[in-house]
Structure 1
């Protein structure tokens, strides 16, 4: 079973500025309403520790593996519950330079595994709202003069 949560927001700022906020992991507790902590050496292939706090849901801390870290473009990681195929989630932040001083941020997560149907409603509600809250706050920060 597979299920994707995908959100998108237009930010009136450069990819460099958006990336500088997105990749300032030490500052997440100060502004990020969804990913409230991200620690570790964020490089492709490395494990990191991520704490998420979806709206109206329990917080969760997990240790995903970074799958991509491309400055000003993309950050992604893969989290696995117990072992592959049970409940896996690949989370992505993708920045697109629109060439006019704006950046499109796509935040998505593709969930795969036998437990996905049990969590589909929560993912589509709480997780999606968490993505949207984070996107909105990132937009506010990046658009500040």
Structure 2
């Protein structure tokens, strides 16, 4: 048999197996994403002595993030529902870049996006910033993320670093907004 025929025969046997394996892995990821061992939620908050408008302005001024934000170092993209951002973040000693899609933008109230690692169901994160008015000149910023997927159960140290980074960002935003007010 000519060499080209053997290679073709080899690929004809291997490719369907690889595709089947990927399909099974993807189905398992989707099923597993609905169980408690594949889900973890983080939530942090801070009281900021300023208006919701001022907090929103700083939170959505992505170009200024490198100047003050210890967690999310760089954001590029158009701010609009359904738009994809490119985000570079630091959690502990790790730097990660991901491309989430914006799910909600409610000025002076909420910014929420959803990101995936590779394909949905492996490691997904729905991140949100919620600004809650508490009265004259005072708001609560709640930063949270719900992680789902097969790799969540193996990501304890990364998620612990992420929670610490949420708190660092919250405090840096508080300081920036309160100094400008």
Equivalences for 1:1-145 in 2 at 5 Å?
1-55=38-92, 57-123=93-159, 125-144=160-179, 145=181
Point out the structure with the larger helix share: 2
Partners of 2:136 and 2:54 in 1: how far apart? 14
When normalised by structure 1's length, the TM-score is 0.95
CA–CA distance in 1 between the matches of 2:147 and 2:157? 13
Cα offsets for 1:59-87 (capped at 9, x unmatched): 00011100111110111110011111110
CA distance in 2, matches of 1:135, 1:107: 8
1:28-64 per-position Cα deviation (integer Å, ceiling 9, x unaligned):
0111000000110011101110000112x31000111
Is the 8 Å Cα contact of residues 43 and 69 (structure 1) preserved in structure 2? yes
Q: Secondary structure at the match of 1:59?
A: strand
Higher relative contact order (CA 8 A, sep 6+): 1
RMSD over aligned CA atoms reads 0.9
The question of whether the paired residues in 2 share the 8 Å contact of 1:5 and 1:128 is answered with yes
Rg larger in structure? 2
Structure 2 gaps of 5+ residues are: 1-37
How many residues in Structure 1 have an aligned counterpart in Structure 2?
Answer: 143
Q: Is the 8 A contact 1:3 1:120 kept in 2?
A: no
Bigger strand share = 1
**Structure 1 runs, 4 residues or longer, greater than 6 Å off:** none
